Homo-oligomer: A and B are copies of this chain.
Amino acid sequence: MLKRVKVLTMTAALLAAFGSNLLLGNAIAADKTSEVSVFSDKDLNTAAWLRDAARLDNASYRILESLTTEVGPRMAGTPADARAVAWAEAKFKELGFDKVWKEPVTFPSWQRGEEKAEIVAPFPQPLTITALGNSIATPAGGLTAELVQFATFKDLQAASPDAVKGKIVFINHKMQTAADYGSVQAGRTKGASEAARKGAVAIVIRSVGTDSHRFPHTGVMNYEDGVEKIPAAAMSNSDADMVVRMIKRGKPVSLKLSLSSGANGSYTSYNVIGEITGSELPNEYVLMGGHLDSWDLGTGTIDDGAGCAITMAAAEFIKRQGLKPKRSIRVVLFANEEQGLFGGKAYAAANEKQISKIQAAAEADSGQGPVTQLSSFVRPEAFAVVKQMQAVMAPLGVVAGDNNAYPGPDMGSLRSLGAASFGLTLKADDYFDLHHTPDDTFDKIEPARINQATAAFAVYAWMSANSPVNFGSGQEPLKSRK
């Protein structure tokens, strides 16, 4: 049931909603008198009912409990990766998805090994550290060198090789809020090659995390081609504070670092996909999902078991209520996000020729919720429907965002190909307390939070699947606007 309204009556509100990020506002302005399709009141009532019912359901909590208890840590390329894939296929089937399949994803495998560090002078103390993903090993027995401290990656970039040569670089960049992730992460991802170019023998960073517990945060790092590889590790914020206090005393501080991590051939895992098949346009599909792999230190609960569980439960709940989505809803659990977005890239490559079939894409990969904002990346003809989606989500505390949505790390590749996308922003205040640490465990999950996120994703999926307008994947202006 569709309802048609004059765009004329919507324009002011749409302009307010999309503000300065309004995509091609002139196109609307030029077409003020045309009509656009929106949801009928009846459809909106169904969506509101779905929202409220899903919020009282605990399916995502139970799915997450299952994944973290029965599989736990599932680092890409390990035996637990295969167990996670088997779990996902079985769980989709158990939940009653109409179709379940998997698509291969091949990547270089990395293994952690033993890891130890200690200050050997002037104040001998063990440190709590962990190897960064992709790090090579130290020589057997470890390496020992003086630390040289930099406040940020940029300071390392600006440093003279004379200050660095033969030393272990220590980047002491404290992450204060989730908004810092990008800038602080630069030291983790690019620090080793920058340090190696200046003659460093290893790099240790203050963990990229907002907590003050004695947990090191792992995470991927990359070596630049043609630059010598040096070992790379992270220490906990508590340890970094201590090392800073030692360095302040003015004597050289020497660290002994022992890692036995390293490359381990290649491995084929799978994106695992479950579909609720559409009743009218089954070949068009709404995508949502998370990444199935996790780091090995914790149990992959908030990163990203939560995203898998939220989106599996959102789709399953729609089906369980007997609602028939017009388009298909596909939940994709991506392989190996952590070490380089391998699953997301493989999925985009496999779907590049049928981007126009993707009605919308949105990923959950910032923890357990709640969802705080709904932003879009759609053609202007869909703005009115997006506004209706935002209105339905408003009682969840979800505010309207702009039309420049980031759909998440794995779905990002699809957006780059012109797929219509949504950003369901997850509140990440405490996400980087746990992110990539041993402390990412199920006891941190609060049902009210994950249930709200599930309700928001259910509304997203249902309204996208039943939208009276196509959101514009592969069409202008999305096609040419990356």
Enumerate chain A interface residues (CB-CB to B < 8 A): 65, 68-73, 79-80, 83, 123-126, 128, 212-215, 237-239, 241-242, 245-246, 249, 298-299, 437-439, 441-444
Contacts and interface: CB of A to CB of B under 8 A. Distances in A.
Given A125-B299, A298-B214, A438-B214, A238 B443 contact: yes
A241 B72 CA distance: 13
Given A73-B125, A124-B80, A441 B238 contact: yes
Given A123-B69, A242-B69, A237 B443 contact: yes
Contacts of A123: 69-72
Given A124-B80, A215-B214, A65 B442 contact: no
A443 B238 CA distance: 6
A213 to B, nearest CB: 5
A438 B215 CA distance: 9
Q: Rank and list the top 7 A-B pairs by shortest CB-CB distance, nearest first.
A: A72-B125, A238-B441, A214-B438, A69-B245, A214-B439, A241-B443, A70-B123
A439 to B, nearest CB: 5
A213 B444 CA distance: 9
A79 B245 CA distance: 22
Nearest to A211: B213
A126 B73 contact: yes
Contacts of A239: 441
Nearest to A239: B441
Nearest to A128: B438
Contacts of A79: 124
A335 to B, nearest CB: 20
A442 B69 contact: no
Contacts of A72: 123, 125-126, 242
A439 B69 contact: no
A72 B237 CA distance: 16
B443 A212 contact: yes
Contacts of A212: 443-444
Nearest to A126: B73
A185 to B, nearest CB: 22
A299 B238 CA distance: 10
Most buried by B among A68, A212, A439: A439
A436 to B, nearest CB: 13
B213 A439 contact: yes
14 contacts: A68-B242, A69-B123, A69-B242, A71-B123, A72-B123, A73-B125, A79-B124, A83-B124, A212-B443, A212-B444, A213-B215, A213-B439, A214-B437, A242-B441
A171 to B, nearest CB: 18
Contacts of A125: 71-73, 299
A322 B241 CA distance: 35
Nearest to A245: B69
Contacts of A442: 238, 241-242, 245
Nearest to A437: B214
Nearest to A246: B69
Nearest to A444: B212
Contacts of A439: 213-214, 238
Contacts of A214: 215, 298, 437-439, 441
Contacts of A71: 123, 125
A65 B213 contact: no
A415 B215 CA distance: 40
A79 B442 CA distance: 38
